[in-house]
Amino acid sequence: MKKAYLQLHAAVFLAGFTGILGYLIQLNGVVLIFYRFVITFLIMYGASIILKKPFKINPKLKPKVYFLGFLLTLHWIAFYQSIKLSNISISVVCLAASSCFTAIVHPFVQKRNFVWTELMLGLMGLCGIYIIYRSDFKHHLGILLGVTSSLLYSLITLYNKNFSFKIKPNTLLFYQFKIGILASFVFIIVWLMIEPPKNLIGLVPTLSDFFWLILLSVFCTIFLQQLNLASLKVLSPFTNNLLFNLEMVYSIILAFVLFQEEHQLNIHFYLGTSLIIFSIGLQKLYVYYKNKKICTKNKSNSDGDFVLSE
């Protein structure tokens, strides 16, 4: 359990840089993730050849894994376009809604009853996003895309939880990125048909773009996803989404320090963010006491069996 928490916290710390790198890369969001998929896929494929460890998967699982890759594509497109249309701080704050969406869709995916405490705490965070949304009209589309990204992330986490016991993390990522290349390429074609560009700016990465893309692909994709999927073998999707909300804190601090984004934000942003952070704190306490209660109950049952056996 302790190892899983350390893996998840390391993944969250790396995730804090994804928004920063997305802001630095001067490419359209769809084009950005296409290059991210391609670079990551080639690195993983090359490593598998060098190490002679091919990615093997049950053919029956491929359609479901490809569907997850498609959801991941949509998630990344929504997130990076949210950054382009608003800013880093607003986009990562929207991701805090993942706890709420997880509480809503988890019962349907896992076929269990609603946990009303999880749902209410998640809704509290969603109220914080609504406060930001109502007060900042110029960032409406960016906020909506950020919330969409959050919903997609909650679905990906829930389904990855099911696959984490059937497929190795590297193999799962490899096939998700494989379909991600195809899906993002199709989205680029559609985008070019709807809005043909006047030049290659936004389509071809510069040297600095390529450097940031390498960092994004290696550290914030391969390492991050491996740590995240490994932690899901032990931790629940709700706990995963809960701790991933700390990505918001890391990213906002970095955005303030590097880009002085505090000058672009109003008092309602801080009020909404404070409500979200408060809800995250309550969620942490809830998960802690819930796990403590389960451990105590299991220990009590174990003690009872021991006495009975004697």
Give the predicted TM-score (pTM) of the model.
0.83
Q: Is residue 308 part of a domain?
A: no
pLDDT confidence of 293, banded at 50, 70, 90? confident
285 in a structural domain:
yes
- Residue 13: count other Cβ atoms within 10 Å of its Cβ: 14
Q: Using the structure block, give the residue that is written with the tokens 């991600």.
A: 180
Sort 249 into a burial class: Cβ within 10 Å, 0-12 / 13-18 / 19+: middle
**Three-class DSSP category at 208:** helix
**Could you tell me the residue range of the domain that residue 117 belongs to?**
2-302
Domain-located, residue 32: yes
Domain annotation covers residue 83: yes
Judge whether 309 lies within some domain.
no
Compute the CA torsion angle 119, 125, 131, 134 (nearest 10 deg): -60
Q: How confident is the model at residue 305 (pLDDT cuts 50, 70, 90)?
A: very low
Structural domain count, the chain: 1
- C-alpha distances in angstroms, 293 versus 49, 149, 286, 302? 47, 33, 11, 14
**pLDDT tens by residue, 21-50:** 999 998 988 999 999 999 999 999 999 999
**Whole-number Å distance between alpha carbons of 225 and 15:** 9
Work out the burial of residue 301: count CB atoms within 10 Å of its CB; fewer than 13 is exposed, 13-18 middle, 19 or more buried. Answer: exposed
Contact call for residues 209 and 23 (beta carbons, < 8 A): no
DSSP reduced 3-state for 245: coil
- Quick check: is 163 in a domain? yes
Q: Are 232 and 166 in contact (CB under 8 A)?
A: no
**How long is the chain?**
310
End-to-end CA distance of the chain: 30
In single-letter form, the type of residue at position 291 comes to: N
DSSP letter for 261, please.
G
**Continuous H helices in the chain:** 2-15, 18-24, 29-51, 62-85, 88-94, 98-110, 116-135, 140-163, 169-194, 207-217, 224-232, 237-244, 246-259, 267-309
Residue at 230 is within a domain? yes
C-alpha 128, offset from chain centre: 19
Highest mean pLDDT: which range of 24-33, 177-186, 202-211, 237-246 = 177-186
Q: Is the pLDDT of residue 308 over 50?
A: no
Question: Tens digit of pLDDT for each residue in 266-282?
Answer: 898 899 888 888 887 78
Provide mean pLDDT across the span 100-109. 74
310 located within any domain: no
